[in-house]
Amino acid sequence: MNQTALLSRESFVELGARARAHALLDAGTFRELAGPFDGLTSPWLVRQGVVPQGDDGVIVARGKIGGQPAVVLAIEGAFQGGSLGEVGGAKIAGALERAADDNRRGIPTRAVILFETGGVRLQEANLGLAAIAEIHAAIVDLRRYQPVVGVIAGTVGCFGGMSIAAGLCTSLVVTREARLGLNGPAVIEQEAGIAEYDSRDRPFIWSFTGGEQRFATGLADRFVEDDCNIIRDTVAALVAQPPATPRSNQYDDYLRRLAGYDTGAQPEPATVRRLYAGDQQ
């Protein structure tokens, strides 16, 4: 990217959740549901000394993408690390459930999920976990009819139960700032020790879970620059594609590839590329 392009570029990563949803929907079609004035704040945070937020860190936006009905679910990474509690989780699950119902009455609503999340909000533990199970259920239901496109832009990344949600999406868009993994680096280091996983070694973390590696190993479908126009066009193209066999149904292929790994030694990023890249896509 040359200097002119760099200066004219509009960063997507730097946008908040609401602005990101705006950026993806066709101009003039954005309509927020269950918004900050609907009285849906977390019932659990205040009693734990945490100031709640009117939207609980999740934006539900209806509108159109490429002229087709869409719902964008954007997680705000700046609120409690993008963690999902009861309300934010129900907003995502509930909206996906409505989108699937739309399809059953002939309205081809598709969905885009903007992941920026550490997973379950520990202050609402079991209600966050339950909501994430319902998000999984709703993605699997909706993707029978329409694409469910996931975007991990950064900088929080996508972890915990929501990384499983990302794995259920029909396609996944990542940037260089993105990270995708089940367990956060600090938790792995605590559970397994620093020799297993050094959470402060950022190049190490990115080399395994960064967007570039996930794309190179087929665990993500598009690797894009941090640019609003590029991300908008990429998402618009993906939501227009007919549903294909989801990555989550390729269990036999993954088991076969994993069998080629000698578990006696820790893998390098190149080990994963060798086994996962190739004829998979």
Partner 1 sequence: MTQDNSTTGRGEAWLAALSGNAPRLPGYPPSVQVADAAIAGRAARLIAVVPDPASPFPRARNGEVGLLEGWSLARAVQEVIALDENPRRPRESGGPASLTSPEKSLGPRLRGDDGRGDDNSRTGAKRPIVAIVDTPSQAYGRREEAFGIHQALASAAAAYAEARLAGHPVIALLVGKAMSGAFLAHGYQANRLVALADPGVQVHAMGKEAAARITMRSVEDLEAFAATVPPMAYDIGNYATLGLLWRTVPVAHPAAPDAADLATIQRTLADALADIDADPHRDLRSRLGGENRGASQRVRDVLAQQWDA
Q: Which of 176, 261, 277, 280 binds partner 1 (CB under 8 A)?
A: 261
Q: Which of 38, 46, 54, 194 binds partner 1 (CB under 8 A)?
A: 38
Choose between 5 and 186: whose C-beta lies nearer to partner 1.
186
- Residue 126 C-beta: closest distance to partner 1, Å: 4
- Residue 226 C-beta: closest distance to partner 1, Å: 22
Residues 166 and 182: beta-carbon distance below 8 Å: no
- Residue 37 C-beta: closest distance to partner 1, Å: 11
Read off the tokens for 83.
């963690």
**Contacts of partner 1 in 66-85 (CB under 8 A):** none
Read off the amino acid at residue 65: I
**Contacts of partner 1 in 165-204 (CB under 8 A):** 165-168, 180-183, 186-188, 190-192, 196-197
Choose between 87 and 151: whose C-beta lies nearer to partner 1.
87
**Is residue 281 close enough to count as binding partner 1 by CB under 8 A?**
no
- Residue 166 C-beta: closest distance to partner 1, Å: 7
Q: Tell me which residue of 261, 150, 142 sits closest to 215, measured CA to CA.
A: 150
- Residue 56 C-beta: closest distance to partner 1, Å: 9
Choose between 156 and 228: whose C-beta lies nearer to partner 1.
156
β pairing state of 171-174 and 110-115: unpaired
Kind plus residue range of the DSSP H or E element containing 251? helix 251-258
Q: Which of 47, 49, 203, 281 binds partner 1 (CB under 8 A)?
A: 47
Q: Which of 4, 27, 28, 252 binds partner 1 (CB under 8 A)?
A: 252
- Residue 90 C-beta: closest distance to partner 1, Å: 4
**Is residue 267 close enough to count as binding partner 1 by CB under 8 A?**
yes
Q: DSSP characters for 17-83?
A: HHHHHHHHSPTT--EEES-TTS----SSSGGGT----TTTTEEEEEEEETTEEEEEEEE-TTSGGG-
- Residue 10 C-beta: closest distance to partner 1, Å: 29
**Is residue 86 close enough to count as binding partner 1 by CB under 8 A?**
yes
β pairing state of 222-223 and 31-33: unpaired
**Sheet holding 171-174: strands in order across?**
31-33, 58-65, 68-75, 110-115, 148-152, 171-174, 222-223
Q: How far is the CA of 185 from the CAs of 128, 157, 165, in angstroms?
A: 20, 12, 19
Choose between 16 and 94: whose C-beta lies nearer to partner 1.
94
Under 8 Å CB-to-CB from 2, ≥6 apart: which residues? none
Q: How far is the CA of 89 from the CAs of 110, 142, 174, 208, in angstroms?
A: 18, 17, 22, 28
**Contacts of partner 1 in 11-30 (CB under 8 A):** none
- Residue 2 C-beta: closest distance to partner 1, Å: 35
Read off the tokens for 142.
């909706």
Binding-site string for partner 1 from residue 91 to residue 130, where x marks contact by CB under 8 A and - marks none: x--xx-xx-xx-xxx-------------xx-xxxxxxxxx
How far apart (Å, rounded) are the C-alpha atoms in residues 237 and 13? 20
